[in-house]
Amino acid sequence: MEVSPKTYEALCRPMIGHRGQGFKDLYGKIQPQLQTLLGTRQLVYLSTSSAWGVMEGALRNLVTRKVLNCMCGAFSDKWFDVSKKCGKEAEALQVPWGSPIRAADIDARLATGQFDALTLIHNETSCGVMSPLDEIAALKAKYPDVTFIVDAVSSLTALPIPFDSLGIDVLLAGTQKAFALPPGLAVFTASPAALAKAATVKDRGYYFDFVEFEKNARESMTPSTPAIPHVYALSSKLDEFYAEGLDARFARHTRTNTMLRDWAARHGFTLFPEPGFESRTLVCVNNGAKPGGRTIDVAKFQKLVKDRGVLIDGGYGKIKGTTFRISNMGDETPETIAHLIGILDESIAAL
C-alpha cells in the first residue's frame, strides 16, 4: 500500500487549532462523506490512534458480561487476548486460519445466552480470508441484545459495508490500509443502542470513551486533540473517492483482485483461504501451508521482487513462508497491478 504525493501534500497543510472553527469546518465537511462511505446516518468518529485503540475501546465500552471473539487469523486471535487483558470474560470461537467465520457457529454460541457482545474481523488481513458479513449480521435480529463489533480495517472503502442496513453496532477501520493514508488515524461509528449501552458502563476510560466521541462529534469536534494533518489527508482522500465514485472504486478493487488471483492460478498456485471466502483487497497465496498447488522459495522470490522496485509480503506469523501476500488495496489500479504482475512474472522466472 503506497501513500500518494497528493496525500503527502494534504498532510503538510498549515496547522489549525482543534477547538476553532477551522477544524469544525474540516470535520463538518468530511462527516457526510464518511457517513455515505459507512452507509450510516449515525455520526462517524475520528480516533487519533491505530485500529487497536478503537478495538480495545469497543471492548471497554461495550462488554458487560461476556464477549465472543470470532477468531480466524492473527488479528482476530489477538482480539481475544486483548479482551482478557481488559479484564473481560471472553470466549474464543476459533476456526483454522484460512476458514471463514460462519453464522451457524456464532448462532450456536449465542444461543447459550452467555454473551452480550461479539467481535468479528470482516477481512482477516493476515491470511486473506473474508468472512460473510451479511450472513453474520443477519443474526443480529435474533440476538438484539448482543452488541456486534466489526473490524473492517482492510475492507472498508474496497466494497460496500452498509452499517445501518446491516444492523450491526460498531464498525471501525484504521486508515492506513484500504484508505491508503499513513498510520495514525482510525474511523468508527456506533449504533444508538451501543451508545446507550456505553453510557451505562463504568470504567470505560477516557481516551476511547464512545460517549465522549458522540458528544464531541455533535459539535464537529473530537474529545482530545486529533492528528489534524491526518484529518486533512483523510479529507483529500475522501474527495478522491467521490471523484472516482464509490461504485467505480469497488469495481476497481474487484478487477485488480481478480488480476492477482489469475496470476496465482496461471503459475500453478492455489490460494490459502477456503474457496468462496477470499479477500477482495489482497491475495494470500498458498505455498505449502495447505495441500495442493505449487511451492517456491518465498524469501528469495520476495527479494527478487523487491530488487525490481515493489514490495510483497512473505506471509504473516505462523504462516510466514508457507504463504505469501500481495495487496491490491488503496490506490492500486489495473495499470499498477499489471506493472506488478510483470515484475512477479520476471521474478518467478528468475528463481
Binding site for ligand PLP (CB under 6 A): 50-52, 75, 121, 125, 151, 153-154, 174
The residue among 252 and 325 lying less far from ligand PLP, judged by its C-beta, is 325
Give the 3-state secondary structure of residue 29. helix
Closest CB 233 distance from ligand PLP, rounded Å: 16
With respect to ligand PLP, which residue has the nearer C-beta, 170 or 348?
A: 170
Q: Find the shortest distance in angstroms from Cβ 16 to ligand PLP.
A: 26
Q: Considering the complex, what minimum distance in angstroms separates the CB of residue 174 from ligand PLP?
A: 4
Cβ of residue 75: shortest distance to ligand PLP, in angstroms? 4
CB of 113 to ligand PLP, least distance (A): 28
71 vs 348, beta carbon nearer ligand PLP: 71
163 to 20, 29, 166: CA distances (angstroms): 30, 20, 5
Asked if residue 232 lies in contact with residue 254, where contact means CB atoms within 8 angstroms, the answer is no
Which helix H or strand E contains 93, and what residues bound it?
Answer: strand 89-94
Task: Sort 223 into a burial class: Cβ within 10 Å, 0-12 / 13-18 / 19+.
Answer: buried
Concatenate the DSSP letters of all residues of 170-211 into one string.
EEEEESSSTT---SS-EEEEE-HHHHHHHHH-S---STT-HH
Q: Please, which residue, 43 or 153, has the CB nearer to ligand PLP?
A: 153
Three-class secondary structure of residue 221 per DSSP: coil
Q: How far is the CB of 41 from ligand PLP (least distance, A)?
A: 25
The nearest distance, CB 329 to ligand PLP, in angstroms, is 10
Q: Which is nearer to ligand PLP, 68 or 348 (CB)?
A: 68
Contact criterion met (CB below 8 Å) for 58 and 213: no
Any residues with CB less than 8 A from the CB of 277 and at least 6 apart, and which?
99, 100, 129, 130, 131, 132
- Residue 295 near residue 341, CB atoms below 8 Å: no
The CA distance from 142 to 133, in Å, is: 15
Query: Of 151 and 212, which CB lies nearer to ligand PLP in the complex structure?
Result: 151
User: How is residue 151 written as a grid cell?
Assistant: 473490524
The rounded Cα 257 to chain-centroid distance in angstroms is 16
Is 37:238 a contact under the CB 8 Å cutoff?
Answer: yes
350: closest CA among 317, 302, 310, 313? 302
Question: CB of 97: closest distance to ligand PLP in angstroms?
Answer: 13
Nearer residue to ligand PLP within complex by CB, 52 or 207: 52
Nearer CB in complex with ligand PLP: 77/209: 77
Q: What are phi and psi of 173, to 5 degrees?
A: -155, 140
